């Protein structure tokens, strides 16, 4: 009888521990949604052109508030690169009053690029005022790889050559961020 009581007492401790863990995990996920995820949900729902784009936002590892992760999950066939980029810019505008050291761009949970938090903040502050073509052209030069290496060059020279290279980089960025993944998954 004493053995059964000890086993029951051990089971009770395990149940309480699991319950406590579930509350902690729920609290962490809830805080992520409240502080960064809800603004992205609002952003996507607030513009009918964003229909078909699925994304989430959370802190790095869900516990590091200095780093924001923008995770693109899915886009419909009717969405363009411009639609996806517009969602990112609209979200930056929603988050312009928050500060991050880094913002990471992921696709289906895999980090593909990162940028400085100050640049993300600037994108949000300038949204609606800055020429969107300028933002598109210069965006890739502000990106780093997940390991911190510069992702794209900063171009100099004649305006037509620079414009061409910058637009090529923007297209490469989109391919590497999510288009190649989508293309390879549809071929399977």
CA-CA distances (angstroms) from residue 23 to 3, 16, 26, 27, 58?
30, 10, 5, 6, 18
The pLDDT assigned to 116 comes to 98
- Band the pLDDT of 176: cuts 50, 70, 90: very high
Cα(48)–Cα(37) distance, integer angstroms: 19
59: left (phi > 0), else alpha (psi -120 to 50), else beta? beta
Cα(30)–Cα(16) distance, integer angstroms: 21
Edge to edge, the sheet with strand 110-116 lists: 53-60, 64-75, 102-107, 110-116
For 124, residues 6+ apart whose C-beta sits below 8 A from its C-beta are: 89, 91, 92, 93, 94, 95, 96
- Compare 123 and 156 and report the one with higher pLDDT: 123
Let me know how long the chain is. 188
Cα(22)–Cα(51) distance, integer angstroms: 33
Query: Average pLDDT, stretch 25-34?
Result: 83
Phi, psi dihedral angles at 128 (to 5 degrees)? 90, -15
pLDDT in tens, 98-144: 999 999 999 999 999 999 999 999 999 999 999 999 999 999 999 99
Tokens of 104: 């990471």
The pLDDT assigned to 13 comes to 80
Cα(19)–Cα(16) distance, integer angstroms: 5
Do residues 54 and 43 lie in contact, with contact meaning Cβ atoms separated by under 8 Å?
Answer: no
Query: Average pLDDT, stretch 42-66?
Result: 96
């Amino acid at each position: 009888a004493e053995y059964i009581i000890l086993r029951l007492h051990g089971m009770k401790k395990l149940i309480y521990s699991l319950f406590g863990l579930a509350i902690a995990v729920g609290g962490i996920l809830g805080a992520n949604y409240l502080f960064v995820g809800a603004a992205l949900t609002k952003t996507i729902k607030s513009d009918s052109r964003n229909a078909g784009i699925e994304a989430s936002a959370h802190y790095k590892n869900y516990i590091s508030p200095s780093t924001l992760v923008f995770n693109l999950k899915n886009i419909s066939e009717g969405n363009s690169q411009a639609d996806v980029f517009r969602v990112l810019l609209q979200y930056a505008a929603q988050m312009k009053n928050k500060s991050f050291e880094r913002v990471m761009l992921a696709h289906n949970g895999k980090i593909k690029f990162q940028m400085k938090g100050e640049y993300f903040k600037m994108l949000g502050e300038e949204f609606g005022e800055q020429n969107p073509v300028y933002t598109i052209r210069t965006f890739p030069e502000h990106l780093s790889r997940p390991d911190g290496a510069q992702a794209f060059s900063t171009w100099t020279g004649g305006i037509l050559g620079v414009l061409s290279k910058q637009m090529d980089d923007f297209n490469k960025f989109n391919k590497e961020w999510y288009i190649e993944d989508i293309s390879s998954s549809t071929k399977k």
